[in-house]
């Protein structure tokens, strides 16, 4: 149980998975405004894989109902 959770732990910088907690929320504008580069769609409907800094993204996105997770290649593909 702990291994999958560690795999999703976000790194300080690099590939991040942005998952909206409410279906109508979009992370793209907030992420780009905070310096992230959109890599592609994530594995969960409405999610995005981006490259960016966790400190710049996590709290602003969470305040808009978007969770920031790690984006391991096993789950999100090798595009990260």
Each residue of 54-76: pLDDT tens digit?
Answer: 999 999 999 999 999 988 766 66
Return the percentage of the chain with pLDDT > 70, whole number. Answer: 80
**Cα torsion through 21, 26, 3, 7, rounded to 10:** -160
The model's confidence at residue 7, banded by pLDDT at 50, 70 and 90, is: low
pTM metric for this prediction? 0.83
Question: Residue 77 — very low, low, confident or very high, per pLDDT cuts 50/70/90?
Answer: low
CA torsion sign, 8 to 53 to 59 to 47? negative
Neighbours of 56 (CB within 10 A): 15
Asked whether the beta carbons of 42 and 8 are under 8 A apart, the reply is no
pLDDT at 2: 52
- Residues 16/65, Cβ–Cβ less than 8 Å: no
């Amino acid at each position: 149980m702990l291994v999958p959770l560690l795999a999703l732990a976000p790194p300080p910088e690099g590939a991040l998975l942005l998952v909206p907690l409410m279906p109508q929320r979009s992370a793209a504008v907030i992420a780009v405004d905070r310096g992230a580069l959109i890599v592609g769609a994530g594995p969960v409907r409405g999610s995005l894989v981006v490259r960016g800094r966790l400190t710049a993204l996590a709290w602003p996105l969470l305040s808009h109902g978007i969770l920031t997770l790690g984006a391991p290649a096993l789950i999100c593909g090798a595009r990260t």
